[in-house]
Amino acid sequence: MSERLNILLISIAIFIFVGIITLVVKRRLNEEYSFIWLLIAFIFLILALMPDIALFLANLFGTILPINTFFFLGIILILFLCLYFSLKISTLTNRVKNLTQQVALMKSEMENKS
Amino acid sequence: MNKLKHDTIIIIPAFNEEGSISNVINGCKKNLLQSDILVINDASTDNTSKIVRDLNVKVIDLPFNLGVGTALQTGYKFAADKNYKYIIQLDADGQHNTKFLPDIFDKLEKKEFDFIIGSRFLSGEKYKNHSIRRFWINIFAKFLSLLIKEKLTDPTSGCRAFNQKVLKYCITDSYNFAYPDADFLLTLHKIGVKFYELPIVMENRISGKSQYSGFKPLYYVIKMVLSIIIVMLRTKE
């Protein structure tokens, strides 16, 4: 793995790390979601500091370039993230629906009384 | 709990139907006297809500547009809360002829069946429908009939009526509010609901735009097939 890729990975990791912590501090991001992003930053850091892991994985998956291993794993990770968000959105949609219905029903009830 | 005027409630979900809603309501008032009427206004941007209020009919306004399934479920929740025995639902666009309401009510009251569907295709009279849409509805109907071992011709009809047994299911979170059609009927079949199809003559839309236009039918077909498969995979409900 090239030096430049190493530096890039470390910078990205630091960028994510600082960014996420800032967002949590400012309460723009829930702590619950920050964990997953910090984990990603951590993985980047590990790969940058121990390039042997990347080579090992490249061997394991049969990819010639270690960078392709990153792409491959990265895409899988993003897919899982998307699935996770879809799940969350489903729950939220349900809750919003139920809440909205309740508000509408209560409002009509109040109209009746007044 | 408020005192009921009637045992039956007609639920009409409406989204921007100012051109046709008064006709539908007047038709209901004329043809089925022994029922209350409830319009669920799904955040219409026109005068639908005001027109209904002026007719002295109960309206529940949703704060933002949530789709016909959710609007209907709001009505179901209201009906369950007020302990209505029979629920009839109609489209607000005026395509369901209200003169069939007494027939539907009679069928329900006899208690032989739990769920009455007003079928557009049983009567033999031709309803000017989009031929592609008609084709897909037909496929669904055939497929669904096969699954529930009972002949249904119009599973996507918006004209439905049912009793408290069905209502109980409709107010739970299991109710598929995104597309309460074929998979909904299949789930009901699984919990032992008995269906009956009644021929109703359709009117063509008085005004407004159908919810199924553009690319929606294709999405609808895919979604429906998927939903049916999922319902079949669910073991307990």
Q: Per-residue pLDDT for B230 more than 90?
A: no
CB contact under 8 A, B74 and A103: no
Please give the pLDDT value at position A66: 75
Would A44 be classed as within a structural domain? yes
pLDDT of residue B2: 43
Residue B10 near residue B36, CB atoms below 8 Å:
yes
Q: Do B63 and A100 touch (CB under 8 A)?
A: yes
Decide: B226 and B182 in contact? Cβ < 8 Å: no
In a domain, residue A8? The reply is yes
- Whether A17 maps to a domain, the answer reads yes
Reported as a single tens digit per residue, the pLDDT across B116-163 is 998 888 766 555 555 677 777 788 788 888 888 888 888 888 899 999
From residue B77, how far is each of A56, B46, B110, B198 by CA, in Å?
58, 25, 24, 25
Residue A98: inside a domain, yes or no? Answer: no
pLDDT at residue A19, rounded to an integer: 92
Query: Could you list the residue range(s) of the whole structural domain that residue A45 is in?
Result: 3-89
Chain A CB contacts of B74 under 8 Å are 101, 104-105
Among chain B, residues having any CB pair with chain A shorter than 8 Å are 2, 40, 58-64, 66, 70, 73-74, 77-78, 81, 173, 177
Give me the mean pLDDT over the B155-183 stretch: 85
- pLDDT attached to residue B127: 53
**Is A1:A51 a contact under the CB 8 Å cutoff?**
yes
Q: Is residue A52 assigned to a domain?
A: yes
Compute the average pLDDT of residues B196-208.
71
pLDDT at residue B1, rounded to an integer: 38
A72 falls within a domain: yes
Identify the pLDDT of residue B224.
Answer: 76
Q: Residues of chain B with pLDDT > 70: what percent?
A: 84
pLDDT at B3 exceeding the cut of 50:
no
Distances (CA, A) of A13 to A9, A20, A66, A73, B182: 6, 11, 18, 16, 49
Percent of chain B with pLDDT over 90: 38
The sign of the torsion formed by the CA atoms of B184, B185, B186, B192 equals: positive
How many domains does the structure of chain A reveal? 1
Give B77's contacts in chain A (Cβ within 8 Å): 101, 105
What is the structure's pLDDT at B233? 81
Say whether B58 and A103 touch across the interface (CB within 8 A): no
Please indicate, yes or no, if residue A106 is contained in any of the structural domains: no
Q: Is A36 contained in some domain? A: yes
- Measured between CA atoms, how close is A99 to chain B, in angstroms? 11
| Digit-coded pLDDT (tens) for B47-89 | 999 999 999 999 999 999 998 999 999 999 999 999 999 999 9
ipTM exceeding the 0.95 mark: no
Top-confidence residue, B182 or A15: A15
Which burial class, exposed, middle or buried, applies to B82 when counting CB atoms under 10 A from its CB (0-12, 13-18, 19+)? middle
